[in-house]
Each structure stands twice: as C-alpha cells, then as structure tokens.
Amino acid sequence: MKLLPLHKLGAREISAGVIDFGLFLPWVLASDGNRLWVKVIHEKDQFLQAIQPMSFELNYSPDPDYGDYWSVQVDINSSPKPDSKSAWGSPGRYVYRYCLENPNVPEMIDWIIDPFAREFGVGKLSAFTLGYEAYSWSDQENIWKTPALDDLVLYELMINEFGGDIDGAIAHLDYLADLGINCIELMPVSNVANTVDWGFLPIGYFGVDERFGKRKDLQRLIDAAHQRGVAIILDAVYGHTSESFPYAYVYKKLAYRENPFMGPFAKDYFGESTDFRRTFTRDFFFTVNHHWLDCYHVDGFRYDCVPNYWDGTVGQGYACLTYETYQMVKAKQGLAGHWQRFVQNGDINLIQCAEQLECPREILEQTYSNCTWQNETLGAAKQVAHGNQDKLASLGLLLGLSGYPAEVTNDDDRIKKTALQYIENHDHSRFVCDFRTVFRGNELLGDGDRSLWYKVQPYLIGILMAKGIPLLWQGQEFGENYSVPEQGWGRVLMFRPVRWDYFYDPIGKKMIALVRKLIKLRRTYPQFRYGEHFFYNHHDRYQSKGLMLFSRRYENNFSLVALNFEDQDQAVPFDFPFSGDYKEELHGSAEEKLNLKNIVAGVDSWISVPNNYGRIWTNVREDLTGQTLRGNEGKNQKNAALRW
C-alpha cells in the first residue's frame, strides 16, 4: 500500500484566496464527453434564495498512478460576487459539491461529495475554510505516550450524545480522567448525510462531521485528552459506505458495469461494500489511517465490521491494512515529534482494535490487530442474567479470555494481544434491560428498570477485574438505561443523549462509587492489569449456589474476586494460597470485620458474599516474605478448566 497524493486532492488554499480543487474519478475521461464542475457558496449565503452558488469547470489530466484526475484553481477574491449582499470573498467557511455531465446520462449528476474533503457542511456538502490557520499543538504532544495495552481502561462515547458537541466533550474530560479512564473510543466522526446518525454509513473520511464541530475542535479535544493522560481511538468504518459515498454514487448514476472502488469483497453485511481487490481502495483507506494518525494525533482505531473486508491472513483486505499501518508507524521510530508517542520500551503501542465478532481469536492470531471486540462475555452474562446458571462456568472462563492469545510473533514483530471485556456498548440495550424493560407504547422508547440496578453489580465487578481491556459505554457508570432495538433504522437514527441527571440520584451515586473503586483497584494493582487469571471451576461448591470465584495474581500479589449473582447471601469455603491477612477492597476500610485475619494457606476459610454483589480480597504483602504458593493452588487446579 502507498499514500495517495493528498497535496493535490480535496480543496486546499494554496495561496491567499486561491483554492485548488482536485479529485480522482477513475474511468471518467474528458475524451468520452464528460465535463465536471464544482459549485461553491459561502456558508452564510447557502440558505438565501437570491444567492446561488458559483460554478467552476474542472480540467482533466491523466495521473500516472491512479488514472483520471480532475482539478481547477479558483481565485475567490478575484471572482465577482454572485450578489451584492453575498459573503463571497470574505474569510470563513465555504461549502461545495461536484456536478458531472455525461453524454449518456439525461440529467446532470449533481450532489457529488468530495471524497477527499477535509471539512464538511450540512448534509451532502463538502467544505473548506478561506484563511484557515493550522492548529497549534501543545508542547506536551511531543512527550505524550500512548498507554500500553495492559493498562487501558476504555470508555466508548458518541460526541453529541455524550456532550452535545466537541466543546461539551472537552468539558467532561476531567470527569473521565478522574473516573480512571485512560482511553476514549469515539464512535464514528466521519461525515454522514444525516444530522442524527450513529455514523456507520460514511460519505467522507478525511475530516470530522460538522454536526460535532470543526477539525480544529477535534484536534483540541485530542490535545486536551492527551494532556490529561487519556488516549483517543476512532471508530473506523472501511468495509462499507453509504450509497451517497461518491465512488458508489457516481458509478451507479453512470450505469457502469464495473466500479474502480466499490463491489462485493468478503461479506456484504451492511451498506455499500468496498472492494479491497482494487489498488485504489487499499491505498485510499491506508491514506485515511495515515491522515488521522498524522493530522489528528489519534492513538489508533477500532475497525468496524471487519467481516466485510476480512479475506484471511494473507489477503488484500483487513490483514493487509493493519499490517501496513503497523509498519508505517514502526518506520517512524527515532523521529522527533508526535510520532514518538507509539514507541516505548521497545514496543509499538499503536492500538488496532478489530470488531470481529465471528472469529475474535483468529483475528488476533492472524493479523496485526492487538485487541478485538468479542461478544462472548456479553452473551454468557446475558444468559446468566436470564437465569441460566449453567452459563456461570462459561462466563468465568471468558472473564479469563479462555483460548485467546496473549502474544503473537509475526516475522520480527512481537505483538501483545488481548480482547475487550464489556456488558454494554452502543450496539446493545443497557444491561439492566436484561432484568426488566419498560416500554412506553413503542419499542424505540423502552428503558431498563433502574430499580433493579443492584443486579448489575456483580457483572460490573467481573468485567473490571477480569483479564482483558474493560470497556464502559457512556453513562454506564451511573446507570444509564436506554433500550435499543435489535434491528431496524431506529437503532441508528434515534438520538439518545446521556442523562447526566442520573449522576446525582441515589442509584447513580451508588453505581459511580462502585465503578470508581473498581477502576482505582485495576490501576493500582498489577495483578488486575497483566496478572494471571485463575477461574475456580467447582460447580458443587460455587456455581450451584450462584457464585463465581476467580483470582488474579502477579508474582506475590494475589486477589480473590468472589461474585454472587443470586438474591441470597452465600457463605462458602475457600483455601487461600498464602497465609496471612487479606484486605477486602470494596468495603474493608470502613468495615474491619470484612477483612480476613490470620488465614492459613491450604486450610478452608469461610467467606461470605452478599447477594447481587461481590467481594475482593487482596493479600497483605508484608506477611508474605519467604512463603510459597500452596494449598488451593493444587486442589483447585483439578477443577479449573484453564489456568493463565
């Protein structure tokens, strides 16, 4: 893969008041009678009936690498105003679109979006800023380091639902940093045609959609996040586009039998499929990745719907893109400036997260993705919530990422691997809905019953103490309770703003207090970030009572996590691996009786676990000198299906 020449693509101000427009339209030649125009209007004039856009015809010239290239230079200042009241010629935003005349198409093909636009207007309009001045990054960008994979605590959000716009999201960064979040996963910021939309049918890839803000606004968000120790990754939608994406739209209008960019490739689940067999397609999305890493300083990507462009480990689609992106970042080692953020202790900490729900283990084993979404933990958790106690063992194993690789070496590249752990994300109803959902006459207006919030607690404790990267979905930490339909356009075209008032109510206060404790534990103790995970798979002793026990251990740091998914308190025996004292992490500081004193390794000690809740006991290190692991290490291995 190679980078497209962005210096001659899109709308760029090459000198004061002079805008250069350029785009590739493969197979659209002037010699075939095609003519192309760009229509431009000042943003302030666009809704005034007396002021029409200015029209400028583009010139055709062949490009040695990508074929058919169209361009024109427009001197805004020397062009006459379309109306005496027009803002034409003044600084600010201008919106534009392309129009194509073809002798075989009766009507002009209008409303062609610029696939290389850096800014966007309303709907299907591209944009540029006359007099644009580049963002000035803070000095801290040159010393910022993307967090290591094991240290990540992810928070998924949609900018306008979370904070209204980018400025609102920036205003909440201190809250997220205080919560313990160190990586934000932004839902798609690329341009879409609708004002209310999740963003998974892009029409423009090289900038932020106008409904969130402008490009400088997003750069400010990322800069501000980095200053607070928070990384930013983008939800990248490369396997499909909207039908309005120009390389889908134009060639359908031209009735071409082939398409230089689009077409069936792997699995066509959603939207208009992109064809990664085409060199142009591969280079386009590689260039998109480079653009966001270089111009916006993002820390990586969450690749949406990987099956749409997954054609195997040596294919031309997803595996190739992640490999080339990794190698591009790796080649920047030793450079001063923002690229150094990815290199630390010999590792490349570029985050490449797959949404490959069909074969999450395979995608880690066979590609340069270093993490993946997986719905297996969520699926097992839902089964338990619906009363299927037999799934507790499955859930226990999945919280330890059973069968997932921890590290893979490809050629000379040693890459750490893991998967995400979540019970909520944008694709699903809030977890409390699994206990009871209240509908208001329409499936789009359902809410989970927040009075049952306490039933969510053991699942929260589980994912935040588990092996892998924990992910929270906006508002989850204080009990957001929207229901989301499993199918239909109502999923993606309904606005569901975070209800920040929940933060202050009694339920919200209790939930946020728990989440804060759990994240603090994870970031304090190494065993929760990169320690071994051991699931105590003993049906008669634990699962039959609605309990799940697992431990996290790193060297001599040991924590036992005991979860109770039932409505009754439970007391069960457990033989700890170390003698000494154990502190109960959630409430032991306030209630001394919850701490365990004078534990003898290898001898059953009775532990009590409250209903719909959990306990976390950690050994007190000063009592461990010279001791070795024994007791339950041997006995429980007989019943454990997997040990990490």
The Cβ of residue 256 has, within 10 Å, a number of other Cβ atoms equal to 12
List, by residue range, all CATH 2.60.40.1180 domains of the chain: 532-637
Residue ranges of the chain whose pLDDT lies below 70: 622-644
Q: Mind giving me the DSSP string for 487-556?
A: SSTTTTSS-----GGGGGSHHHHHHHHHHHHHHHHHHH-HHHHHSEEEE---TTTTGGGTEEEEEEEETT
- The model's pLDDT over 306-341, given as tens digits with 9 standing for 90+, comes to 999 999 998 999 999 999 999 999 999 988 899 999
pLDDT at 194: 82
d(C-alpha 108, C-alpha 413), whole Å: 51
| Chain segment 182-236, per-residue pLDDT in tens | 999 999 999 888 877 888 889 999 999 999 999 999 999 999 999 999 999 999 9
Give Cα 396 to chain centroid, integer Å.
Answer: 25
pLDDT at position 638:
33
Question: What is the location of CATH 3.20.20.80 in the chain?
Answer: 139-243+259-527
Superfamily of domain 139-243+259-527: Glycosidases (3.20.20.80)
Three-state DSSP at 500 gives: helix
DSSP string for residues in 213-278? --HHHHHHHHHHHHHTT-EEEEEE--SEE-TTSHHHHHHHHTT-SS-SSBS--S---SSEEB-TTS
Q: Which residues neighbour 344 within 8 Å (Cβ) at sequence distance 6 or greater?
A: 145, 146, 148
The mean pLDDT value of the chain amounts to 93
* Ranges for all domains in the chain classified under CATH 2.60.40.10: 6-130
- CATH number of the domain at 6-130, out of 2.60.40.10, 3.40.50.300, 2.30.110.10, 3.40.190.10? 2.60.40.10
pLDDT of residue 285: 98
Which CA distances in Å does 128 have to 11, 20, 121?
A: 6, 11, 9
State the CATH class of domain 532-637. mainly beta
pLDDT, residue 67, reads 87
- Look at residue 622 in the predicted model and tell me its pLDDT: 60
Contact 40, 97 (CB under 8 A): no
pLDDT score, position 277? 96
Helix H or strand E encompassing 506: helix 506-524
